[in-house]
Amino acid sequence: MNDTYRHKGLRKQLVETIRLKGIRDERVLEAIGKIPRHLFMDSGFIAFSYKDQAFPIGEGQTISQPYTVAFQTQLLEITPHTRVLEIGTGSGYQTAVLLELGASVFTIERQRKLFLKAQENLHMLGYKPQFFYGDGYQGKPSYGPFDRILVTAGAEDVPAALKGQLKVGGIMVIPVGDRNSQKMIRIVRKAKTDFEQSEHGTFAFVPLLKGLED
């Protein structure tokens, strides 16, 4: 499948929709306007690719809503060459947004099927993150510390291992709550033992699970 003028037109409308919902970072909007979301969707939902909604991608998981992807990315303040650890590759759509902003991305997924599919798809589109199959709860200490950490699944609490892998001056964005709803938490590591936390609205993510598969 390719990227047509119709797709480009639908993407422009999507960008305007999320702009109206409050996304202000022009570089983030530009990335959303550029990435062919229809190439990240499950076949049954392709017709809805440019709706501002989450959709199933198999294995009980979802591709996040574009507004949510943009919102998390905006909170991260990505600049070129930023080293980003992403937990929950899923479809790889959020990974593509980070890469469009010039980040070096290390992305972890615990569902083997999604891990393999995202890898194939992102490579086909020319995106080159470092992929890991594993439990993101533990982070990726051998590749850390990171400038940014992004968790794209709802956590019960902030995993200590992830806080430990954040650089001083670094930012982590993680939805924290129960199965039904989570607060968007942004953490800035001010100093080795000083973490500043702020809250940015309520969201609904699939859960961050411990260990591999189910």
Binder of ligand SAH out of 15, 28, 64, 70 (CB under 6 A): 64
113, 79 in Cβ contact below 8 A?
no
Least distance CB 58 / ligand SAH (angstroms): 9
Distance between CA atoms of 100 and 117, rounded to whole angstroms? 20
Known active-site residue 49: no
Q: Which is nearer to ligand SAH, 159 or 170 (CB)?
A: 159
Tally of residues, the chain: 214
- Count residues binding ligand SAH (CB under 6 A): 23
Least distance CB 212 / ligand SAH (angstroms): 8
Least distance CB 54 / ligand SAH (angstroms): 8
Q: In what order do the strands lie in the sheet with 166-177?
A: 130-133, 104-109, 83-87, 146-151, 166-177, 182-191, 194-203
Q: Which of residues 118-137 bind ligand SAH (CB under 6 A)?
A: 135-137
Q: Which is nearer to ligand SAH, 88 or 170 (CB)?
A: 88
Q: Which is nearer to ligand SAH, 47 or 191 (CB)?
A: 47
Least distance CB 21 / ligand SAH (angstroms): 17
Binder of ligand SAH out of 152, 165, 166, 172 (CB under 6 A): 152
> Which sign, positive or negative, has the C-alpha torsion 79, 150, 84, 159?
positive
Q: Where are the beta strands (DSSP E) in 17-65?
A: 55-58, 61-63
Name the active-site residue from 64, 142, 181, 198: 64
28, 75 in Cβ contact below 8 A?
no
Binder of ligand SAH out of 39, 49, 62, 184 (CB under 6 A): 62
Q: What angle do CA 42, 43, 46 make, to 5 degrees?
A: 85
Q: Taking CB under 6 A as the rule, does residue 153 contact ligand SAH?
A: yes
For residue 153, what is the DSSP state?
A: S
Q: Taking CB under 6 A as the rule, does residue 36 contact ligand SAH?
A: no
Strand partners, 106: 85, 130
Q: Taking CB under 6 A as the rule, does residue 87 contact ligand SAH?
A: yes
For residue 81, give both structure tokens.
């060459």
**Residues designated as active site:** 64
